[in-house]
Homo-oligomer: A and B are copies of this chain.
């Protein structure tokens, strides 16, 4: 039975590219039938990357069958996975996020989580010498995942390992990292086709702190103005999204990739309090700029207080 390899819901570049990389490794190197699938429509950057490296978009699945063999990459959080994930036959987990708890298996499996910026970097380590067998398009996906997750090495999640691998791959591919990253970020920043509610859910993780359930949404962009111009609509949509998704509050951080700062929308007193307690920010008006804040994983989630 073909193993399905997938990342998290609302797939970004790493959750789109890494399943393809690992399915290639399992099928072509290990001789185990495997296919990459997606748990939703990839974002505009991921779509650009697929096209750039001549990869068909993997099929989108809603759920997994009981007992179906799966490999989970780029998450270990059941909230970001199909509802019946614990009834699937989870064969392996490869991730770089905090331990969420909640995934269970009935027998021992391989789990590898490392504090690297990018799942694809960890896959390269796991492949060992077999990584030399990667064809051009798999190398291209790997480079794209690293540039995306590190925001071209600007994110504080970036490790020397991620950076060295990206530079090695770019060299082998004959690609200029600054030029290629600029193309990727332009694709990611083109969000004009999405509604306000879609923007709030595009790159979003639920997180509970002090009894308050948040949807912590991040939009990484080289054009923050295009998003901040929609501030009124986004704040209005927060109420509906929170209600529909069963959370108390949506937090939207607009990450300015080039200026290395985030702007948090402040629609009410709860969010003002969060901004002050979590980031020591002084809030005046309905937005606040948080200098240096680029990473939900490393900076926002660990700081969050109510």
Contact = CB atoms under 8 A, between A and B. Distances in A.
A107 B98 contact: yes
Contacts of A297: 107-108
A109 interface: yes
Interface in A95-147: 96-115
Contacts of A93: 99
Contact of A109 (B98, B104, B106, B301): B98
Contact of A106 (B98, B103, B106, B115): B98
Nearest to A78: B101
B101 A108 contact: no
B108 A104 contact: no
A204 to B, nearest CB: 18
Contacts of A113: 108-112
Contacts of A105: 98-99
Interface in A69-106: 90, 93, 96-106
A97 B108 contact: yes
Residue among A96, A101, A298 with max Cβ neighbours from chain B (10 Å): A101
Residue among A98, A99, A103, A298 with max Cβ neighbours from chain B (10 Å): A99
Contact of A302 (B103, B107, B112, B114): B107
A119 B216 CA distance: 37
A105 to B, nearest CB: 5
Contacts of A102: 101-102
A230 B302 CA distance: 53
B114 A99 contact: no
Given A109-B113, A112-B111, A101 B98 contact: no
A113 B94 CA distance: 11
A304 to B, nearest CB: 10
Interface of A: 90, 93, 96-115, 297-298, 301-302
Instruction: Rank and list the top 7 A-B pairs by shortest CB-CB distance, nearest first.
Output: A111-B113, A108-B115, A101-B104, A99-B105, A98-B105, A101-B102, A98-B108
